[in-house]
């Protein structure tokens, strides 16, 4: 049985891997599609643990595995390496597995001679939106008055126009790291906080002298419940620290 190389998808500071092996065309050609398959939750990001639940449509305890279909020209259904479970006597199953990170990937549950209908995965994207709150009535958006602290608000579940891949789900308690870019282009850690029940957080930032520092916020990796969600940064956000308010 020919093995495929692992399929890697880089996501910010981590890598999500999905390994598949060739099942062979004979097994796929003779498999009967039956039973049912549902996946929950419906809103998720790549690497998040989701629940597969359904029935093979045949009685008796059977060994089952996952098959994946990438959807590219010439692709076939391939077995996800290293994963298998057993059904109940009535053919039902329920298990958890990380969701794939890309759009349009299909998974189905298979056993010898039988497969469930396929489920199409369309993972939401991770994204963060930063908003600078002015510290004086005399400064405009993106500005701060020197000598006074200002606030950076963070939204990890933004709704943006022309982005059907947003918003991602909320992960309350996920760590957020505030960073500032130095003269060498490196990001230095300034502070940390965690998201609230709405996926939001904030930082109070000192503005000591006139300058134009650049900030970003990282939402850190999330591994609770068996998930393997990679960390993800916001876009760099400059703040114009002015000497006097207009």
Instruction: Give the integer Cα–Cα distance in Å for 116 and 91.
Output: 11
- For position 4, what pLDDT does the model report? 33
Encode pLDDT of 83-134 as tens digits: 999 999 999 999 999 999 888 999 999 999 999 999 999 999 999 999 999 8
Instruction: Give the integer Cα–Cα distance in Å for 45 and 14.
Output: 14
Mean pLDDT for all residues in the chain:
88
- For position 2, what pLDDT does the model report? 39
* Options 2.40.30.10, 3.30.465.10, 2.60.40.1930, 3.40.630.30; CATH of 7-122: 2.60.40.1930
For the chain, the domains span 7-122, 129-242
129-242 CATH = 2.60.40.10
Phi, psi at residue 29, to the nearest 5°? -70, -30
Q: What is the 3-state secondary structure (H, E, C) of 33-53?
A: ECCEEEEECCCCECCCEEEEE
Question: What is the separation of C-alpha 6 from the centre of its chain, rounded to a whole number of angstroms?
Answer: 19
197: confidence class by pLDDT, cuts 50, 70, 90:
very high
Q: What is the pTM of this model?
A: 0.83
Residue pair 194/210 in contact (Cβ under 8 Å)? The answer is: no
Which residues lie closer than 8 Å to 184 by C-beta, 6 or more apart?
none
77: confidence class by pLDDT, cuts 50, 70, 90:
very high
Instruction: Give the integer Cα–Cα distance in Å for 192 and 135.
Output: 21
User: 7-122 and 129-242 share one CATH topology?
Assistant: yes
Instruction: Kindly tell me if the per-residue pLDDT of 18 is higher than 70.
Output: no
Burial of 77-105, coded b for 16+ CB within 10 Å and e otherwise, reads bbbbeeeeeebeeebebeeebbbbbeeeb
Task: List helix spans (H) across the chain.
Answer: 25-30
- For position 141, what pLDDT does the model report? 85
- For position 245, what pLDDT does the model report? 77
- For position 136, what pLDDT does the model report? 80
């Amino acid at each position: 049985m020919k093995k495929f190389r692992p399929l890697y998808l880089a996501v910010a500071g981590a890598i999500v891997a999905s390994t598949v092996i060739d099942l062979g065309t004979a097994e796929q050609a003779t498999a009967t599609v039956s039973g049912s398959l549902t996946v929950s939750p419906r809103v998720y990001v790549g690497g998040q643990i989701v629940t597969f639940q359904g029935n093979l449509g045949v009685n008796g305890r059977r060994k089952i595995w996952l098959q994946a279909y990438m959807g590219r020209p010439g692709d076939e259904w391939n077995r996800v390496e290293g994963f298998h479970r057993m059904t109940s006597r009535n053919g039902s199953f329920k298990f958890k597995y990380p969701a794939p990170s890309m759009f349009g990937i299909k998974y189905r549950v298979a056993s010898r001679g039988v497969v469930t209908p396929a489920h199409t995965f369309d993972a939401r994207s991770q994204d963060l939106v930063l908003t600078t709150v002015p510290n004086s009535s005399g400064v405009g958006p993106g500005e701060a008055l020197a000598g006074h602290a200002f606030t950076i608000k963070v939204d990890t579940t933004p709704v943006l126009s022309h982005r059907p891949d947003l918003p991602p789900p909320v992960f309350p308690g996920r760590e957020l790291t505030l960073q500032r870019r130095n003269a060498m282009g490196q990001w230095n850690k300034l502070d940390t906080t965690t998201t609230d029940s709405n996926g939001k957080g904030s930082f109070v930032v000192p503005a000591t002298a006139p300058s134009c520092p650049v900030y970003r916020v990282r939402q850190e990796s999330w591994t609770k419940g068996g998930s393997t969600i990679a960390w993800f940064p916001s876009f760099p956000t400059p703040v114009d620290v002015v000497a006097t308010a207009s």
